[in-house]
């Protein structure tokens, strides 16, 4: 396919071409924004590697009732309303990777920005939240 054929296709299908251009811009914009957010998004399988190899601290930001129903093994529960980067437990883990977990990844992203601002270097968010962890078939621990 050469440029003339591509231009002819675009002329015959203007809405499809516009949609393709819009999606391309959105994808590129999302990738560029990811470079500047300051934290990394980690898939469930990589979270297990971080915990096993680098002794990562996993902080679950969900309400206590949800946490008790099932959470990533070894995770510590901190309510989002009580989340403070200067907390003793968090401050002690400043040199370790810290992985934030919530229901979908949104609240964890906000908390990750706060950790980065407080000087934490290795900050991660579980991609897709606890739902992605469950979909990956990884184990949950119940209770506290």
Looking at residue 124, which CATH number applies to its domain? Answer: 3.40.250.10
25 and 69 belong to one structural domain: no
Residue pLDDT, tens place only, 47-82: 989 988 998 999 999 999 999 999 999 999 988 878
Residues 6+ apart with CB under 8 A from 49: none
Overall number of domains in the chain: 2
**Full strand arrangement of the beta sheet holding 123-126:** 40-42, 123-126, 98-101, 57-60, 76-77
15 and 50 belong to one structural domain: no
43 and 75 belong to one structural domain: yes
Q: Are 100 and 127 in contact (CB under 8 A)?
A: no
How many whole angstroms separate alpha carbon 93 and alpha carbon 114? 15
Supply the pLDDT for residue 101: 94
19 and 46 belong to one structural domain: no
pLDDT, average across residues 37-43: 85
Record the pTM: 0.75
How many whole angstroms separate alpha carbon 46 and alpha carbon 51? 9
């Amino acid at each position: 396919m050469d440029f003339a054929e591509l231009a002819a296709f675009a002329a015959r299908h203007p809405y499809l071409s516009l949609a393709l251009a819009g999606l391309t811009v959105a994808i590129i914009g999302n990738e560029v924004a990811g470079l500047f957010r300051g934290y990394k998004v980690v898939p469930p399988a990589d979270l297990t590697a971080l915990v096993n190899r680098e002794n990562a601290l996993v902080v679950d930001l969900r309400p206590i009732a949800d946490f008790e129903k099932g959470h990533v093994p070894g995770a510590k529960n901190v309510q989002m309303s009580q989340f403070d980067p200067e907390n003793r437990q968090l401050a002690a883990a400043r040199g370790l990777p810290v992985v934030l977990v919530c229901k979908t990844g949104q609240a964890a992203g906000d908390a990750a920005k706060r950790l980065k601002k407080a000087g934490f270097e290795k900050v991660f968010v579980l991609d897709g939240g606890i739902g992605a962890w469950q979909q990956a078939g990884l184990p949950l621990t119940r209770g506290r």
